[in-house]
Structure 1
Amino acid sequence: MPEFDSRGTFQKAANEYTKIQDAFPEVIRDPLLADMAVKEGDRILDLPCGTGDAIVRAAKLAGPTGHALAIDISPSMIEEAKESAEAAGVKNIQFVVENMDEAQFDAAAYDIVVSANGPFFASDLKAFLVKMWGAVKPGGKLVLMTLGRNFLTPISGVFLDLAQNKTEDLRISIPWRVTEDILFLRTLLEEVTNKQRVKITHRDVVMDYKTADGGWNLLMGTAFRGYTLEMSAQNQAEIEAEMKEWMQTNRVFSATCSFNNIVVTKDDA
């Protein structure tokens, strides 16, 4: 797996990803909305927006005088987001299917620019952050969420061991490792934002998935789904069965995730 296939992974994972957002709102959506602190009339950019769990609620808070631009590489993710917006009666969102490296948007046009668990998928992290920071209005804010050093432990490690043992020449490429280091993040953002104050909050969250089926669905709703794209159908089925057996045998029905929530506010002009 020399290069992580973001589009293919999240096309397949969209449905499970939506279920994770619904089951664990306190993991991503709620902390993100707290950091965004949306006000009436705010203009918001969300890239990548995923299935829209946060941006739909943010746009509703921004009200009819506000506006949101939501971009994601996966058409399936965007379709899920559109359905959520329609169900919530939210009409002030423009949805766009686009690669995050090629996405176009106005400079200095947004009160809030947000990217949750997505920056590490950029081909050039610094260039992506420069572009996102450039979209923030004076007095506006950049809101990021990245994964910490624990991502679905212990089941993630068990899954990767089984995957490599079962599948010949399966290479492990973990994009989010680039943003695990808090010192690296702070230093890079201070450079990108010309020494603006960077606020980083670390969180560790326990996700209780209750059953072996729930644990498998949790894995398949995340970037780990991408490794199954490299496997035969038989290997996928065997690994799913072995993972569920491991969870049942060891009575492991929860996983720990760590996150770094980041807010940088741009000085007024």
Structure 2
Amino acid sequence: MAEFDSRGTFQKAANEYAKIQDAFPDVICEPLLADMAVKEGDRILDLPCGTGDSIVKAMQIAGPSGHALAIDISASMIEEAKEKAEAAGVKNVDFVVEDMDKAQFDTAAYDIVVSANGPFFAADLKTFLAKMWDAVKPGGKLVTMTLGRNFLTPISGIFLDRAQIRTEDLRISTPWNITEDIAYFREVLEEVTRGQRINIIHRDAVMDYQTADGGWNLLMGTAFRNYTLAMSPEHQAEIEAEMKEWMQANRQFSATCSFNNITVVKDNV
């Protein structure tokens, strides 16, 4: 199997991803906003911004004197984000479809630079974090969120087992593995930020999806959709039916996700 297809995966996953954000605001959006601690007039850079849940709420706090640049590789994600901003009456966000590895930003231009579950998609983690850090103003902050060692446990493991059975030579490649090792992530951040104080909070979130349909939609709103892209329509239908049957038979209607929330404040100079 080829390397992880971010654009193709999240083009197809945008609708389910948006539903996850709406159904579980306490999993990503609310903790992220707490770490950001947005103030009126803040300038914010968000990449990848996904369907815009966090940045739209952040700009409601920042008000008309604030401004945000929000970037995502998926046009579908950006369209969802624009719709949410319009519905919320938020006009001071520039949404851009772009590869976050190729995007360029002004140095020391933002009060907050944020990336939720995005750093592991970077072609080079250190280069990406350094670029984000350079965009932070003195006195501003870098806010990131990464997945821990549990990602939709236990349904993720059941899904991957069935995916390998159905797809010849399927290579399981989970890009978030590079950042789930929090000691390694801290080491890279310390090098990039030149030893500034790094605050890390680990948490486990239980996501109650309530039905087998809800569990399947949860899987398909995440990076696991990547594996269905290599399947025939028949195999996709088979694995969906099997997963729903397994969840129903085992009364398994919740999954655990681990997260690491990281903030670094840049010293005033």
Task: State how 1:6-25 maps to structure 2 within 5 Å.
Answer: 6-25=6-25
CA contact (8 A) 1:2 1:173 kept: no
- In structure 2, the residue matched to 1:178 is 178
Distance 2:110 2:40 in 1: 13
Distance 1:5 1:112 in 2: 28
- In structure 1, the residue matched to 2:197 is 197
Deviations 1:193-252 (A, max 9, x none): 000000000010000000000000000000001110011000000000000010011110
CA contact (8 A) 1:40 1:63 kept: yes
**3-state DSSP class of the match of 1:149?**
strand
Q: Which runs of 5+ in 2 are unaligned?
A: none
Distance 1:152 1:268 in 2: 40
Distance 2:229 2:21 in 1: 23
**3-state DSSP class of the match of 1:143?**
strand
- In structure 1, the residue matched to 2:121 is 121
Distance 2:220 2:50 in 1: 15
- In structure 1, the residue matched to 2:165 is 165
Alignment partner of 1:26 is 2:26: yes
Q: Could you tell me the TM-score, scaled by structure 2's length?
A: 0.99
- In structure 2, the residue matched to 1:90 is 90
Distance 2:188 2:101 in 1: 18
Q: Could you tell me the TM-score, scaled by structure 1's length?
A: 0.99
**3-state DSSP class of the match of 1:104?**
coil
Task: State how 1:51-66 maps to structure 2 within 5 Å.
Answer: 51-66=51-66
Compute the displacement of 1:6 (Å).
0.3
Compute the displacement of 1:79 (Å).
0.2
**3-state DSSP class of the match of 1:175?**
coil
- In structure 2, the residue matched to 1:36 is 36
Compute the displacement of 1:166 (Å).
1.5
Identify the range of structure 1 (123-132 vs 100-109) with the bigger mean alpha-carbon deviation: 100-109
CA contact (8 A) 1:49 1:55 kept: yes
Identify the range of structure 1 (208-217 vs 163-172) with the bigger mean alpha-carbon deviation: 163-172
Distance 1:239 1:69 in 2: 38
Compute the displacement of 1:167 (Å).
1.4
Provide the aligned length of Structure 1 versus Structure 2: 269
Task: State how 1:63-142 maps to structure 2 within 5 Å.
Answer: 63-142=63-142
* Structure 1 runs (4+) greater than 4 angstroms displaced: none
Distance 1:72 1:101 in 2: 10
- In structure 1, the residue matched to 2:145 is 145
Partner amino acid, structure 2, of 1:215: G
Partner amino acid, structure 2, of 1:75: A
Q: Which runs of 5+ in 1 are unaligned?
A: none
Distance 1:240 1:138 in 2: 49
Task: State how 1:230-249 maps to structure 2 within 5 Å.
Answer: 230-249=230-249
Compute the displacement of 1:169 (Å).
1.1
Aligned sequence identity (%): 80
CA contact (8 A) 1:198 1:262 kept: yes
- In structure 1, the residue matched to 2:256 is 256
Distance 2:187 2:166 in 1: 40
Distance 1:115 1:185 in 2: 14
RMSD of aligned C-alpha atoms? 0.5
Deviations 1:42-75 (A, max 9, x none): 0000000000000001011111110000000000
Deviations 1:163-202 (A, max 9, x none): 0011111111100000001111111101000000000000
Compute the displacement of 1:2 (Å).
3.0
Distance 1:182 1:166 in 2: 33
Deviations 1:146-172 (A, max 9, x none): 000000000000000000011111111
**3-state DSSP class of the match of 1:48?**
coil
Distance 1:187 1:125 in 2: 12
